[in-house]
């Protein structure tokens, strides 16, 4: 796979992290550089790690067995996430929801980093089937997401003004 193709994949994978980073930037009041760095480290770190994890899973999972049940696994995971979102929409007051989204607590960032990097896991799995060199790809994906997320916080802050 060419470097340009990997870079384009990395940019595509980082778009959800960019959106979340911009929203975080809108809500930050102080320590912008420190918060931007923390957000970028979480998002870039997970975008680097998840393709490696997906690649490892792809090399250890027997492909035909996985292929036959992958749609049910995806259905169960997405269904559980959807049910949780629906349940929370009835039980969380608007102020509590806004407070959760604004927070840069580590647990919130961890959840957001995992949520925005699930697609990287799938890319890593795909790379294992294509026998792509994963380490260079994962590093490029992580650095790209780090950079875009860091800039996204500042873009969001700028949009507030």
List pLDDT tens digits, range 94-134.
444 444 444 557 888 888 898 888 888 888 888 887 878 89
List pLDDT tens digits, range 56-69.
988 877 556 665 66
Say how many CA atoms lie within 13 Å of 89 toward its Cβ: 6
Q: Residues 21-50: what's their mean pLDDT?
A: 92
Q: What pLDDT, on a 0 to 100 scale, did the predictor assign at position 98?
A: 47
Distance separating the N- and C-terminal Cα atoms of the chain? 42
Q: What pLDDT, on a 0 to 100 scale, did the predictor assign at position 66?
A: 60
- The pLDDT > 70 percentage for the chain reads 73
> Rounded to an integer, what distance in angstroms lies between the CA atom of residue 33 and that of residue 11?
22
Cα separation values, 51 from 34, 154, 157, Å:
26, 27, 30
Cα separation values, 110 from 62, 92, 93, 95, 104, Å:
30, 20, 22, 21, 10
């Amino acid at each position: 796979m060419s470097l340009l193709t990997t870079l384009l994949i990395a940019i595509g994978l980082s778009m959800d992290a960019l959106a979340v980073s911009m929203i975080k930037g809108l809500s930050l009041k102080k320590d912008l550089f420190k918060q931007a760095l923390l957000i970028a480290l979480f998002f870039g770190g997970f975008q680097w790690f998840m393709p490696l994890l997906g690649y490892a899973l792809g090399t250890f999972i027997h492909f035909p067995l996985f292929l036959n049940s992958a749609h049910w696994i995806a259905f169960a995971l997405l269904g559980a996430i959807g049910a949780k979102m629906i349940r929370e929409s009835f039980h969380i007051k608007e102020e509590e929801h806004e407070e959760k989204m604004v927070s840069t607590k580590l647990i919130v960032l961890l959840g957001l980093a995992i949520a925005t990097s699930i697609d990287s896991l799938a890319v890593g799995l795909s790379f294992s089937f294509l026998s792509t060199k994963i380490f260079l790809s994962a590093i490029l994906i992580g650095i790209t997401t780090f950079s875009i997320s860091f800039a996204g916080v500042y873009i969001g802050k700028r949009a507030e003004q």
